[in-house]
Every structure is written in C-alpha cells, then in structure tokens.
Chain A
Amino acid sequence: MQTRLFGIRHHGPGSARSLLRELEKLNPDVILVEGPPDAEEILPMVAHADLQPPVALLLYVPDEPKRSAFYPFAHFSPEWQTLKFGVERGIPVRFMDLPQCYQLGWGEGRSEKSEESLKSLRSEEDVSDEEDSEDEAAALPTRRDPLEWAAEAAGFTDSERFWEHMVELRSDHDSEDGGGIFAAIQELMTAMRSEIPASERFLSEQEEQREMQREAWMRQTIRAAQKEGFERIAVVCGAWHVPALAELGPAKRDADLLKGMAKLKVVATWAPWTYDRLAMHSGYGAGIESPGYYEQLWAYPESVAAHWIGSCARLLREEDLDASPASLIETVRLAETLASMRGMSVPGLTELTDAIRAVLCFGNETHLALIARKLVIGEVMGRVPDDAPMPPLQRDLQQEAKRLRLAQEAMEKSLDLDLRKPNDLDRSRLLHRLALMGVDWGHRDEYSNAKTSTFHERWKLQWRPELVVNVIEACMWGSTVLGAATARAIELTDAAKELPALTALVERTLLADLPGAINLMMARLESLAGVTSDVAHLMRALPPLASIVRYGNVRGTNTTVVEHVVDGLVARICVGLPAACSALNDIAAAEMFRSLQSVNEAIHLLRREVHVGMWKDTLEHLARQTGVNGLVAGRCCRLLLDQQVWSSEDAGKRMSYALSRAATPLDAAAWVEGFLKGSGLMLLHSDALWQIIDSWVSGLDADSFTLLLPMVRRTFSTFPSGERRQMGERAKQAGGSVRGRAIETDVDASRASLVLPTLALLLGVAPVVAGSGT
C-alpha cells in the first residue's frame, strides 16, 4: 500500500504539470483532493464538454444562501487537472476537506456577532460575500502568508515571486526527477510549520481550532481509504497541509476533535467564474495576481516569455500603439538579461513587465496599465452546462423569465412595456427587482422620445454572462427574486442615511412592487424626515413621493402609506422654508429656486386643499420677508400671481418695491430673473404678466430706467431671440395685445375696394359697399 502526498499551490500551472506527470507515474486507484465532500455528487460533471473553466464549486445553505463558499478552478489549477484526470480515467475521486455542512455552520450560536466571526472564520478557500470583505479587509488584522518567511530567506521581495520562480517556472516538470519538487515542498512546509509559532500563523485560537479540525478530517479520509484496501492513494492538497497529513497518528485523537460539530444542510452546484474574480484584488483569499499570465504559462511552458510578449504586442497594436517585431526581440532579450542578473534561469512576470515597460511602452505607465487589465488578469469567463444544478434564485429567475417570455440574449434590444397589460406589468416588476439586486439586465431608456405616458415604460435589455455571478451573489439575499429583492431593499433602507437617497430607494421599491419592504421603508422615511433639519433634503424628497401618490394607481400599488408621509413632508417644508431661505448666496439660491419650482409642481400634482393652502401662505410669507435672495423672492411673487392669490396690482406693487432705488442693483436684477426666468412665452401670451412689466417699465423716469436697464437686460437676454423680437413688436404697439391688433397698413382704400366685388363673388357673400369697411 502506498500513500503519496502532493502539496500544491491552488492555481499553480507548474504544480499542475508536475502533478499530472506524477499521477501518470503512480497510476493511483483512488485520488483524494482537498475540497468539499458535499460536492462529490456533481463531480462527474467535470467531464462535461460544456463545463469550461474558470468555474467555481458553489456550496450554500439553502435556507440561508448568505452562508456560502466558493471553490474556484481555472484550467491550470492542479485540483482541476486532478479531477479531470480521475474522472476521465474512471478512478474514484474523493474530496477530503472538512465538509462545508460543518464549516458553514461555524459562527452559529452567536448570531448577533456572527458577521464578525464569519469573516475571520473564512478559510483559504471560502469567501461568503466579497463586497463586504473588501471594505473590512483593512480593519481586520491580516495573517501573514507563511511563505513570506521562506521568500525573505531566499532573497525574494514577496512570496508570489518566490513561488513563481521556485515552482511554477521550473522547466524540469517534465523530466524524470520532476517529482522531487513535491518532496522539497513537503520539507519546506514541515520546517515552516515547526519554526513559525502558532501565534504568528493564526489570528485567533478559534482559527487554529478550525484548521486542526480540517486536517483531522483529511486524515480520517485518508485512513478510510486505506481501510477500504486501496493500493495506491494519491493525496492532493494545499502545500501547507502536507506535513499534517504525512503522519496519520492515532485515529482516536482526530475522532475526538471532530466530535459534536453542528451540521447544516448544504447544496452544491457549479457556477461560472471569471479571471477577474480569481485575481487577488477581488478580495479572494487564495487568489493569484495574474491568471492571464498563468494561463499562458500552462499553455506554453517552454516559451512563455515569447508568447507573453507577443500577446502584449498584439494588444498594443489593437489599441493603435506602436509595437514592432524588432522591439519584441529586444524585449525578450532585456527580460532574459534581467532574469540572469537577478539570478534566475527564466524571466518571470516581473522581468517581463520591466522589459515591456522599458522597450515597448517607452516608460509609459498608462500602456502598462492596459496590459495589466486585459492580459495579466484577463477577461475570461467560464461556462456551466444547462443541466447543472442551479442555485434556487437563478432557477427562480429563469422560470420567471420563461413565464414572462423574456429571453436572455447577448444582443441589446429595446422593450416597450404597456403597464396596463398584466404580463408587461410583471415584466417591469421583474426588471426593477433585478436592478435593485444589482443584476443589471436592463436599463431604463430615458431618452427615447416615443410615448411618454405614465403607463409606458421603455427598457433596453442585454444579458451579459457575468450577470450570472451577480445572480449568485444575490443568493445571499434570498432564494426567489421577490424574496431577494425585498431583503436587499430592506438592507438598503437600513443603510440609507439621508432623505434623498431614501426617497429614491422608495421610488425604486414601489416600481419593483415589494410590499414586504415598503411599510418598513415608510416608517424609516418618517423617522428620517422627522430628524432632518435640512429643508433642501425634504424638498428634494417630496416630488418623487408626490408622483407615486398621483400615478401609483397604474401599477396598483397601495399608496395610503405614502400619502401619510407626504402630508408630514409638506407640513415640515412649509414650516422650515422661511428660515431656510434667509441669507442664501447665489449658488444656494439657484438651488432653492429649482427646489421651489419642483415642490410647487408636486403640490399642484397632489391637488390637496390642505397642502395648497399651506403652500400659498408660505409663499406669501417668503415674498414679503426681507433678506430673501431676489431670485427666490421674485419666483414666490410670480407663483402667487400664477395661482391668482395676488392680483396684477399686488404683483406690480411688489415689483416696483423690489426694484426701487433702495434695493442694490444686483438684488433687483436677481428679482427680475426670479420673476421671469424661463417664461418668455408666458410673457407674450399672458396679458396680466405683460401689463405688469409694461406698466412698470413705462412708469420709470429716465434716470432710473438707465440705471435698471442692464439688470433687466440680463434676464431678457436669456430668452430666445425669436421671443425677444416678438416682445419688441408687442411693446411697439403701445401696450395692446398681439392677437387683437391688425397689421398696420398703408393701403389705398379706394383702390383696394375695387377687388371687393370679385372677392365677394368668390366667397359667395353679399358685396360690401366700398369704403364702408376695412
């Protein structure tokens, strides 16, 4: 009986190659791989032609998908190659890590603090929710990579470089004694595990305990395989664990370690993965810096430098940058010289990058960044066969999409929804719900100028493959689209700190029709509105809510809750506005001008007596208040005039008051601007407004007129020239209205009357006596 241990590095192409060779030689009758035993049943799928790495094994607790673990694989991952090796040859392959049904349960029993401990619990392979981990990575003390000790001792700057040169770039993988590398790795790890104290290796006792349990389980799996009578057992695991598995020791101790662990129900599936997510910067523990480079290293082990530089050159040329074949040769030469200077046999990624920067990029870092994004990491996405088990949320989404006849296509296409039709309404809800979860299948086509009625909604749909990952990530919020969207909305509600953000969220939630979230949201909205002292925020919150109350009916949403909130908002705005409008500078006043306008529209949209009454009082107060910026005061006056609260005389009085000599010219100009802004056509067609301006201008004496002219001009110059011309024409006619007045003529009446009889004949009316009419 023979048990061989192969310590590898997750995603190391060199390790993978050595491993394959050794496996060929050993021809094992069973293979044990560090991985979750819960996923063994979906292992045969490895041989499926449609399962294309990068893919990940996803394990999650069905009732609580937030508890999940990913085990990603690339083509060049030693584990992937081992799995393929075993499955294709019909050799039994077993996973031997501590099952996730135990691991995912860790941290239970302290549900309040479980978030925190879940983070530290995260072992090398699993990551529950990546978004959070990035934020908190800084706060958590990081465990030092044990390889760094070795790298430092060998004179490398970091462990990645060290491993790349010592293991991945070795050219003797295919030679006869290539297997010696595994013995060397075992030796190195044994030394490190005995030299580095536990306090350096683990962040907490808990973590240490967990690693012991995992290794105990691995040992138990090996024992079981030996007991079953397998002759040649191959064990593939992270290099770090090798020493712990070399000596099995008494089984009793391991059994004790594994006693009394809580067990959860866990489901396993394959999920497509991307190189971007495989790369370290997406916060994945055992990630690698350069998946794209490793792929080439796997594909062309003999001449990776030439292939790598070749693909860099192609990329540069695609971007219209200069990269001649002669430069490529120089780049390879420089990389090789650099490598030999640094005492290495083959150039690694560092040397290649240095050479590319100096020769191909002329020292330009931006070109290099392009290479880093497109090549070093690589834009590759894996594929999963259709019959693979799917997380419930994804299943639910596909069923919904099928029911609503929405195809997941890569081509962008437009969709025009008529919300009066139940099917279209459901489609709209589905899209809004997905958007809330961060699955941007469609976006609203705001700029299309087609039908703009409230029951139409236009979308542009495009299914990008990476959205699958978003869907899986959204699993943590729930297992159905409705459930997940509701949970996400509630989470966002809790996170919203300011009123405008929250109202925008309310709008989206109502569009997505999430009754489970809306009540909570309204409660939060009310409490936030209560403590918000910033009237501007309140004012910005009102319009979207008002449109919900007014137009919500099309969607059949219950708006009574919203109405209550709106009542409160209007009252608060009316109370706070006078104070908020005093002493504004020009920028703040312009902002207030817009808010005033939109609140005014919102209030008239609602058409509630109480609101309108309160609003009128507030406007009147503002128009009379001193110290209000002219822009705001002018607009208040105008709004009052429009709503016929003030008569033309009132408004006229107000105007001459505001524009009298005591007012500073700037204030006066602002007032006129506020009064007239954006209403050139109004001025042309509303007699009342025209009269006010006209009589004010005519009432000025010559000196005042000269003084005020520039300010009035400032406002009028904002009107389109066509309108200005018409105004001029109208003014020329001494105050009359445009419509009623004929065009001035100098027609010779007696000559004109000559045509009248013929005209009368043509029109079939009685001829007019010449000279009696015009």
Chain B
Amino acid sequence: MPTVLRQHAEDQYAEELAALAASDSRQRPPNWRLSPWAVTTYILGGTLDNGVTISPKYVGSRRLMEVAVSTLATDRALLLLGVPGTAKTWVAEHLAAAIAGDSTLLVQGTAGTSEESVRYGWNYARLLAEGPSMQALVPSPIMRAMEHGKIGRVEELTRVPSEVQDSLITILSEKTLPIPELNSEVQATRGFNIIATANDRDRGVNELSGALKRRFNTVVLPLPATMEAEVEIVQRRSAEIGRALEIPAEPPALEEIRRIVTIFRELRNGVTADGKTRIKSPGSTLSTAEAISVVNNGIALAAHFGDGKLRATDIASGLLGAVVKDPVQDQIVWKEYLETVVKERDGWKDLYRACRELS
C-alpha cells in the first residue's frame, strides 16, 4: 500500500493504462502512450477485448470526451470550461496521464502566478557564480513538457493575470519558448500540448484575450444532466475515496446519497425535484464535487463517532457547511428550505431533526 495521501492518476490506474497499451493496436500520434481511441476508453471506461475492465473516470457525454481527445491529437491546446466542481481538473489530469503517462507538469493559476512559473526562472546562486547558462535556468513545468513532448497543464487559467496568460501565446502558436538571455530557445518536442482549465463563473476576473482564446479549442463540461447520473458520480467517487482513506465504514446507502444529491440539485436549480415549488438558491455553487465531500465527511463521522453506518446526523453538518457559505443570506435560504421542503417530505423527518439540532 502506498504511503502517499493521494496518488497521481498514472500511478493509481497504472494497471489499466498498461492493459490498454497492450491491447491498443490503433495508430498513435507521435509520442503518445495510447491511441486517441484508447484514451477515450480510459476516460469513459469499458471492457477490452482481453477481458480487462476499465473503470470510468468521467461520467457524461462521450462526444465531449471525443472532441477533447481529438483536439489534443490535432496539436491544438484544449481549454476545459465549466462551473466549479464539474470535473475539469479531474479530466485534465487523466487526459495527461493517459496521453503522456505524466500528469505532474502542472502550473496552478492564481492571482500571483508570475511569468517565471509559466516560462522559466533562474537559480540566482548559480547565475551569480557562473553567469547565465542553461544550468542556471529553472524550467517551468510547461518548459519541461515542451522538452519531453508531454502534456502541460494550467489550472484556473482565468485567475492568472492577463499579461502572464499571454506569455502562453508564443508557446501555443510557435511551439517554441525563446530564451533571449542565452540567445537560445527551447523547441517543443512532438507530443507536447497544453490542457488548461477555467471557471465559467469567474470568467470576468481575467478574461482570456482574443489572441489566446483563438489558440484553444473549448470544451464546456456541463453539470450532470440527470439525477441518476449525479447519484452515480457521487456514489462512485465517494466509494473510491473511502477506500483510499481506509475508513472502516460500510459503503453509504444509495438512499442517503440520493437525498444529498436531491438537496443539492434542488437548491442549485431553485426548484423542487417535482418541479412544483420555487425555492431560493444560495450563493454557494453546490457542485457535484461538494456533494462527494459531504458524503465522505459523513462516512468519516459515521465510522469514528457513529455506528459505522451513514445516517442523517452524519451528513447534516456537512450539508450545512456546503450550503451556508454566506452566514446571513445563505442561512435564511437553508432555513426556508428546511422548513418548507425537508420538513414536509415523507421519510425525511430524521434529516430534518438532525439539521434543526445544528442550526
């Protein structure tokens, strides 16, 4: 058993990747570990000819994933857009793992991301001692990806300041990174590409310039379309995480997950599941990812403080924390929801009581 808390995708699913590579006879783009078809299968799951089952990493539209993989195969950069918690990062990581066998070449976009972290920096001790040289250069993950023909990832691209964003333009259009200090450059090896993720909701923060936008193919990842799809995602992911953390609890009952997903969907859409009543929506995003963490939180509570079975009392605090992000406004929304929807619903009495005790 590995000791790291969270394994990289290429390590966690090493067996699946190996099996896919073994049975994959289709043509591979230069420097790709798998063919585009096999990459899609890795993401969406399926059964191989030799009987190996590939677990689905992304539950959703096949067409979207095909567009994403094809984009990378045409050496265009891929921009994954979507509201928080729609598995953008998750998809990006697995795409990088499947295509390049390495998902670690990552630049995390923040308001403080500087040009050095996208291009290159300097080891100043060496710079002073030896003068400018390739050895004094500290390459960014993107530069390393270019050198080795791998997939570089930029997370939260829209949070990065505009001028730093635009330093990607040369890399994407010329496939080269000039180093004027050394009168040299790094040219991308075949197989290099970039996957960026960005958030729909904070598009306004640092919107991509037209020039940069044109260099990306955009794939919008939607929220799960149906209740069933969302329940499946929550169930699958919480079971995986539970296994990884070795929580000594039973896997959560489908019933509890269904309740949580129902609450999330209702509050997110502002309408009850039967479509009859309008309710207020809180300011929080209430993504699928948060639903997963509510379940996990509940399982942990149940395992360590409860009877090992996920019950209403275990999920109540997680729910409260996920919904109420603004202590004043969201609190009102949540209370209204409790009193008008949860209280009335058949078989939800336990949840209502548990939530009431907390608030």
Contact = CB atoms under 8 A, between A and B. Distances in A.
Interface of A: 322, 324, 326-327, 330, 333-334, 337-338, 341-342, 350, 354-355, 357-359, 361-363, 365
B69 A363 contact: no
A223 B63 CA distance: 50
Interface in B32-90: 36-37, 40, 63, 66-67, 69-71, 73-74, 76, 79, 81
B8 to A, nearest CB: 26
19 contacts: A330-B74, A330-B76, A333-B74, A333-B76, A334-B71, A337-B70, A337-B71, A338-B67, A341-B66, A341-B69, A342-B66, A350-B63, A354-B63, A354-B67, A355-B67, A358-B217, A359-B218, A362-B218, A365-B220
Given A338-B66, A341-B69, 16 more contacts: A322-B210, A324-B214, A330-B74, A330-B217, A333-B74, A334-B70, A334-B71, A337-B73, A338-B70, A341-B66, A355-B67, A357-B67, A358-B217, A358-B219, A359-B218, A363-B79
B75 to A, nearest CB: 9
Contacts of A361: 218
A363 B74 contact: no
A342 B70 CA distance: 10
A2 B85 CA distance: 66
Contacts of B218: 357-359, 361-363
Contacts of B213: 362
Contact of B219 (A330, A341, A363): A363
A358 B71 CA distance: 9
A365 B210 CA distance: 18
A329 to B, nearest CB: 10
Interface string B286-303: 000000000000000000
Contact of B67 (A322, A358, A362, A365): A358
Contact of B70 (A322, A341, A350): A341
Closest 7 CB pairs of A and B: A363-B218, A363-B220, A337-B70, A358-B217, A338-B70, A362-B218, A333-B74
Nearest to B69: A341
A359 B74 CA distance: 12
B339 to A, nearest CB: 25
A417 B184 CA distance: 83
B210 A359 contact: no
A762 B220 CA distance: 91
Interface residues of B, number: 21
B40 to A, nearest CB: 7
Contacts of A355: 67
Interface string B22-40: 0000000000000011001
A334 B217 contact: yes
Contacts of A342: 66
Given A338-B66, A341-B36, A326 B71 contact: no
A341 B210 contact: no
Contacts of B73: 337, 341
Contacts of B37: 341
Highest count of chain B CB atoms <10 Å: which of A324, A338, A363: A363
A345 B37 CA distance: 15
Contact of B76 (A334, A350, A362): A334
A337 to B, nearest CB: 4
A361 B67 CA distance: 14
Nearest to A342: B66
Contacts of B217: 330, 334, 358-359
Contacts of A362: 213, 218
Contacts of A326: 214
A363 B199 CA distance: 13
Contacts of A357: 67, 218
Interface in B283-335: none
A416 to B, nearest CB: 49
A65 B217 CA distance: 53
Contact of A334 (B63, B74, B220): B74
Contacts of A359: 76, 217-218
Nearest to B219: A358
Interface in B74-115: 74, 76, 79, 81
B35 to A, nearest CB: 9
A365 B74 CA distance: 23
A338 B73 CA distance: 9
Interface string B207-225: 0001001100111100000
Highest count of chain A CB atoms <10 Å: which of B66, B69, B81, B214: B214
Contacts of B63: 350, 354
A333 B70 CA distance: 9
Contacts of A324: 214
A363 B66 contact: no
A359 B214 CA distance: 8
A350 B67 CA distance: 11
A342 B63 CA distance: 10
Nearest to B64: A354
Nearest to B39: A341
A382 to B, nearest CB: 34
Highest count of chain A CB atoms <10 Å: which of B37, B67, B71: B67
A718 to B, nearest CB: 34
A334 B70 CA distance: 6
B179 to A, nearest CB: 27
Contacts of B81: 363
Contacts of A354: 63, 66-67
A319 B66 CA distance: 29
Contacts of A330: 74, 76, 217
Contacts of B70: 334, 337-338, 341
Contacts of A327: 214
A270 to B, nearest CB: 41
Nearest to B63: A354
Nearest to B75: A333
Contacts of B69: 341
B219 to A, nearest CB: 6
A357 B79 CA distance: 12
A334 B214 CA distance: 14
B227 to A, nearest CB: 22
Contacts of B210: 322
A322 B215 CA distance: 13
A337 B32 CA distance: 15
B74 A337 contact: yes
A510 to B, nearest CB: 43
Contacts of B66: 338, 341-342, 354
B199 to A, nearest CB: 13
A186 to B, nearest CB: 33
A611 B245 CA distance: 86
A668 B236 CA distance: 66
A330 B213 CA distance: 13
A338 to B, nearest CB: 5
Contacts of B36: 337, 341
Contact of A341 (B40, B214, B220): B40
Nearest to A330: B76
A363 B217 CA distance: 8
B232 to A, nearest CB: 20
B157 to A, nearest CB: 13
Contacts of B220: 363, 365
Contacts of B219: 358, 363
A355 B64 CA distance: 10
A327 B217 CA distance: 9
A36 to B, nearest CB: 41
B87 to A, nearest CB: 15
